[in-house]
Amino acid sequence: MDREADERTTANLAWLKAAFAEAKSANRNALVIVTQANPGFETHWTPSLKDRYFRLFPGVTPPKDSKPSGFDPLLNALETEIQGYDKPVLFIHGDTHIFHINKPLVIKKTGRFADNFTRLEVFGDPDSHWVKVTVDPAKTELFVIEPQIVPENRAGK
């Protein structure tokens, strides 16, 4: 299974690099990346960012060292590509399905979040709702993201 995972990772990284290259060469206004998996952006945060995040949870301390993950090559490639692309990038994923919108991609060289990179984690079981994404060229952020709650799909019903 390691060989299959390596082949898939190689193909995914080639696809990602090609998507950024096409967006740059065609002077696209933005790039959208959609995947099922949550790659764990937080595992690549600096210790100070992890400390700031974990302050929200009394009694919980951040892990000192993140263990290597199969998503490390993807996160490293995203970091590299985003530094050469100054337009908005929207990364949409499911997997853990805890709806939120944030800017979680850290540039190691600066220790800061990439301003033009936005993550949208969509709803999922047991909260099966949907998200409307509109592209509005008049907006600086370009993407207008609106959660659409389906009342009969609320958890616990």
Residue 50 lies in domain: 2-153
What counts of helices (H) and strands (E) characterise the chain? 3, 8
Amino acid 156: pLDDT: 66
Q: Which structure tokens are listed for 24?
A: 């740059």
Which spans in the chain are helix H? Answer: 2-25, 47-54, 72-83
Amino acid 89: pLDDT: 97
- Nearest alpha carbon to residue 62 among 72, 52, 71, 75: 52
For 97-112, write each residue's pLDDT tens digit.
Answer: 999 999 999 999 999 9
Q: How far apart are CA 50 and CA 136, in angstroms?
A: 33
Residues of the chain with pLDDT under 70: 156-157
Q: How far apart are CA 10 and CA 2, in angstroms?
A: 12
CATH of the domain at 41: 3.30.750
Amino acid 83: pLDDT: 97
- Nearest alpha carbon to residue 28 among 115, 81, 71, 89: 89
Our count of domains for the chain comes to: 1
